[in-house]
């Protein structure tokens, strides 16, 4: 079987999700041919080496100025070309904005669909199963993709990077491509970085909110309290997925790891993926559900509505 991983570059480095996927596919498809596509402008040898060390046997490179920044059409053309060349069984990419844009487009052109945001893959005999958490992660969708070609995106952060990779030098296959004007109708203009990047790692106090906060506007009380305490707000993935707060505030497996003196967890259930990012000296949990898992990790637990409790804490501290 042939597996093709779409590698992504971020800030001049191979994105961690790509390395995580390589780790996973090497584990599940031990005897398969695992290849990677590496598209970009001025592709660096160190990227190719790193992909090899993390388990890519072959790296298909397309080095072209048109691929310096991600644009749908040039990438669709480039990926389609590599797929035509090697006829892989599985094409897999991290479900970043780029991966989730690209793979369904290529899948549709191939006449198949794409399994999105998987968090696990299993091989059972001849069957390959793809797992996607659904219903706010309270249920798991298990999918089989029939047909000879399977397109899959992964939930970001789903797979760990191998800390001690033992791969070697990959074979490099450079693929030629020519882009026409119609491939380039959309032009890259600029990337504007966020004016403020939040480094939660050094925060001494974090007032973190979860789905229980109830909405974007309701985060105001958390911001006010964080400001009085000289700290920052934080959030669970549930909140960043719903755009209640920016992704930069996410804490946990796919977010930032934090080690504050005080962590106030308001309306957070205590999922392992959130808890794994927290090493707090004191954790204070506020939750209406007395059986919420967060209380197992808390030094102080308050059973109640965060919308009444946080204003009280704010008032007491202001006094
Ligand atoms: C591969 C993978 C990676 C993930 N990475 C992360 C990650 O990095 N970070 C992360 O956070 N999650 C991550 N998740 C998601 C994680 O599994 C949980 O779904 C998520 O953390 C749940 O967020 P939550 O606690 O806000 O929401 P919920 O689990 O829905 O909990 C909401 C809580 O609020 C309480 N509540 C409701 N109303 C109130 C109120 N008025 N006052 C007080 N309490 C109230 C409820 O009792 C409940 O306990 C990941 C999942 C997967 C599969």
Of 157, 184, 211, which closes a domain? 184
Is there a single domain that holds both residue 19 and residue 74?
A: yes
Of 159, 184, 209, which closes a domain? 184
Is there a single domain that holds both residue 205 and residue 152?
A: no
Q: What is the CATH number of the domain that holds 60?
A: 3.40.50.620
Q: What separation in Å is there between the alpha carbon of 242 and the centre of ligand 1?
A: 12
Per residue of the chain (319 residues), give pLDDT as tens. 999 999 999 989 999 999 999 999 999 999 999 999 999 999 999 999 999 999 999 999 999 999 999 999 999 999 999 999 999 999 999 999 999 999 999 999 999 999 999 999 999 988 999 999 888 677 899 999 998 999 999 998 889 899 999 999 999 999 999 999 999 999 999 988 766 677 898 899 999 999 999 999 999 999 999 999 999 999 999 999 999 999 889 999 888 889 999 999 999 999 999 998 999 999 999 999 999 999 999 999 999 999 999 999 999 998 8
Is there a single domain that holds both residue 158 and residue 206?
A: no
Does residue 190 lie within any of the structural domains?
no
Q: What separation in Å is there between the alpha carbon of 274 and the centre of ligand 1?
A: 7
Does residue 194 lie within any of the structural domains?
no
Is there a single domain that holds both residue 154 and residue 285?
A: no
- Among 21, 121, 211, the mutation site with the greatest number of ligand 1 atoms within 8 A of its Cβ is 211
Three-class secondary structure assignment of the chain: CEEEEECCEECCEECHHHHHHHHHHHHHCCCCEEEEEEEECCCCHHHHHHHHHCCCCEEEEEECHHHCCCCHHHHHHHHHHHHHHHCCCEEEEECCHHHHHHHHHHHHHHCCCEEEEECEEEEECCEEEEEEEECCCCEEEEEECCCCCEEEEECCCCCCCCCCCCCCCCEEEECCCCCCHHHHCCCCCCCCCCCCCCCHHHCCEEEEECHHHCCCHHHHHHHHHHHHCCCEEEECHHHHHCCCCCHHHEECCCCECECCCEEEEECCCCCHHHHCCECCCEEEEEECCCCCHHHHCCCEEEECCHHHHHHHHHHHHHC
Is there a single domain that holds both residue 256 and residue 310?
A: yes
Does residue 191 lie within any of the structural domains?
no
Is there a single domain that holds both residue 241 and residue 129?
A: no
Q: What is the CATH number of the domain that holds 299?
A: 3.40.50.1220
Structure confidence at residue 195 (pLDDT) = 64
pTM, two decimals, is 0.73
- Among 207, 266, 268, 304, the mutation site with the greatest number of ligand 1 atoms within 8 A of its Cβ is 268
Structure confidence at residue 196 (pLDDT) = 63
Number of domains into which the chain is organized: 2
Structure confidence at residue 137 (pLDDT) = 74
Does residue 216 lie within any of the structural domains?
yes
List the residue whose alpha carbon is closest to atom 48 of ligand 1: 269
- Among 206, 253, 286, 303, the mutation site with the greatest number of ligand 1 atoms within 8 A of its Cβ is 253
Range(s) of the domain holding residue 306: 200-318
């Amino acid at each position: 079987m042939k597996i093709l991983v779409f590698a992504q570059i971020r800030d001049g480095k191979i994105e961690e999700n790509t390395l995580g996927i390589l780790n996973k596919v090497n584990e599940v498809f031990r005897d398969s041919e695992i290849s990677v596509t590496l598209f970009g402008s001025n592709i660096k040898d160190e990227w190719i080496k790193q992909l090899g060390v993390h388990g890519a046997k072959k790296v298909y490179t397309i080095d072209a100025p048109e691929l310096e920044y991600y644009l749908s059409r040039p990438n669709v053309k480039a990926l389609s070309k590599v797929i035509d060349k090697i006829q892989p069984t599985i094409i897999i990419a991290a479900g970043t904005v780029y991966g989730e844009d690209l793979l369904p487009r290529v899948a549709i052109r191939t006449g198949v669909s794409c399994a999105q945001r998987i968090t696990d893959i299993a091989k059972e005999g001849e069957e390959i199963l793809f797992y996607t958490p659904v219903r706010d992660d309270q249920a798991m969708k298990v999918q089989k993709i029939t047909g000879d070609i399977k397109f899959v995106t992964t939930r970001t952060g789903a797979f760990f990077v191998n800390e001690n990779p033992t791969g070697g030098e990959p074979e490099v296959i450079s693929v030629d491509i020519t882009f026409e004007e119609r491939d380039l109708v959309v032009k890259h203009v600029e990337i504007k970085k966020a004016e403020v990047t939040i480094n939660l790692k050094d925060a001494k106090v974090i007032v973190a909110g979860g789905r229980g906060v109830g909405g974007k506007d309701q985060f105001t009380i958390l911001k006010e309290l964080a400001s009085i305490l000289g700290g920052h707000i934080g959030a669970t993935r549930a909140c960043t997925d719903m755009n209640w707060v920016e992704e930069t505030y996410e804490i946990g497996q796919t977010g930032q790891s934090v080690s504050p003196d005080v962590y106030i967890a308001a309306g957070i259930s205590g999922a392992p993926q959130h808890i794994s990012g927290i090493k707090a000296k004191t954790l204070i949990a506020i939750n209406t559900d007395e059986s919420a898992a967060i209380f197992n990790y808390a030094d102080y637990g308050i059973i109640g509505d965060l919308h009444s409790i946080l204003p009280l804490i704010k008032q007491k501290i202001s006094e």
